[in-house]
Every structure is written in structure tokens, then in C-alpha cells.
Amino acid sequence: MKELKTHQPDNLQTSKKRIFIGLLGLTFALIMLIILVGGWIATIGLNHLHPSLTLIAWVIAGLAFIFLSGIISALILSIVLEKDFPFTQKIRGLGIKLFLPLMEILGPRLGVPKEIVRNSFIEINNRLLLSRHRHQILPERLLILLPHCLQKADCQRRITTNIDNCQHCGRCDIDALTKLAETYKTHIAVASGGTLARKIVRDHKPKIIIAVACERDLTSGIHDTFPLPVYGILNQRPEGPCWNTKVDVAEVEKALQTFLR
């Protein structure tokens, strides 16, 4: 059985890694600068109250620097080696919650569009998941989560409440994906938004999710569900965002073959 590989060329994958690491480092430097400036401003006022308070402020700033340096170092090591170490799990969660939103703000100001920042994050996330979860998941503990925009806009069948309502007419990729889930005996569902997606996850309690969506929704989904692993596959938007989108079904099947025990 073939192992799953991301569909981008190696040079593009390397480029995404460099973009992510670069923005991560710059975000860390900015946070450190804020801490140092804040500590310096604080010492001016504290020194008038008591000299020992100045020392305490610098100690706190130093501890924050050491703590955040450890987080950044662990994240960068994990990304460079493409290996999700057990001790980096909680650290990676903190990195996702803290650094990613700042990177989305900083990136466009440095000429890196927000979509590229998100795309690089999804790529890094996927490569780390592949290093840790190969052939570990039972079929009933895997969930394929799809966006409602994969369904043809003029289709009258409501599949967000029950994907079995699909008539399998073959006009959209829902047909092929439901048959894929049936073949591999995994759960599959369609969500029309974040609230419904979270409800679906709570109901199914999966060990891993293969999610299809755009950069924005995949990034927010990975962020919201952490530490539950989400493998993201970008949809294709030949008619624009959120309208008659498509997905590479073969890529979804390769992901199933890689993660399922």
C-alpha cells in the first residue's frame, strides 16, 4: 500500500516550511521585544517605589523569555525534523493558540498574504500528523468531515442533517466520498458551519478527522479542535469560494489508507 504524500512538489513544501518557520521566528522576536520594552517601562515606575521591585520585574521578564524560547525551539525542531515528539504535543497546542493568530496579523504586513500563512500552517500540521499517526486508527474512530459547498448549489437534497439523503447522482464529489466512507467503514458527515462541525465531532468522538475545507475553515478547525488531530485537505474552487467546490477524492483515499489500521 502506498504511503500518503502531500501533493505539492518538494520545493513548494520546503518553501511553505520556510515561510512558517520565518514567520514563527519573527513573531517570537516581536513578542520578546514587547516583553523587554514592557519590562523596561515597568522598572522606571517600580524603581521609585522600591529598588527590589525592579529586580522582580526583570526576573519575571527573564522567565517569560526562557519559557517562550523553549516553546519556539521545540516547535521549530519538530517542524524541521518533521517529527511530532510526545513532549511537543502540549507545546504545539500553545503555539497554535498563541502564535498562529499573531502570524496571521504579522504576515500580511510583511507581504505574505494571510492565505499563504494558513496554507503553510496546514501543510506543517499535516506533515507532523503523518509522522505520528500512520496506520493507528480503527475505521470507526475516523471521521471524514466535509463542507456543504461540495454539494451542488441547485441540489434540493438536504445532506447537512443526514448525508445518507444523497441520491448519488454523481454531479458532485459527495457521491464518491460517501462510497469511499462505505468502502473503508468510516464515519462521514457534512457541516454547514463551525457550530454544526463541533456538534458532529462531539457526537462521533473520533480519534482523528480528515477534513476538507478552504484555508480559513481548516485553520480555524485545527485551532478549535486541538488536541484532536485534524488532517486538512484543501478544496478546489473553480467557481469561487463556497460555491460548487470540489476535492481530490484520490487524496482523501490516500489519507484513509495511511491513517487506518
Express each pLDDT in 67-81 by its tens digit. Answer: 888 878 888 888 888
Residue 79 has φ and ψ, to the nearest 5°, of -70, -45
Rounded to whole angstroms, the Cα distance separating 260 from 186 reads 9
Specify the pLDDT at position 32: 84
Specify the pLDDT at position 1: 41
Residue 214, SS3? coil
Those residues with Cβ within 8 angstroms of residue 191's Cβ, 6 or more apart along the chain or in another chain: 145, 146, 147, 148, 160, 197, 200
Rg for the chain, CA atoms, rounded? 22
* Cβ atoms of 19 and 117 closer than 8 Å: yes
Query: Over the chain, what is the mean pLDDT?
Result: 86
Cell of 72: 519556539
108-155 pLDDT tens trace: 998 999 999 999 999 988 988 888 888 889 999 999 999 999 999 999
Specify the pLDDT at position 10: 55
189-246 pLDDT tens trace: 999 888 899 999 999 999 999 999 999 999 999 988 888 999 999 999 999 999 999 9
With 80 as the cut, is the pLDDT of residue 179 above it? Answer: yes
The sign of the dihedral angle between the CA atoms of 15, 20, 23, 24 is negative
Specify the pLDDT at position 3: 46
Highest-confidence segment of 57-66, 99-108, 243-252: 243-252
Rounded to whole angstroms, the Cα distance separating 230 from 144 reads 10
Q: Spell 37-76 as b/e; 16+ CB within 10 A means b.
A: eebeebbeebeeeeeeebeebbeebeebbeebeebbebbb
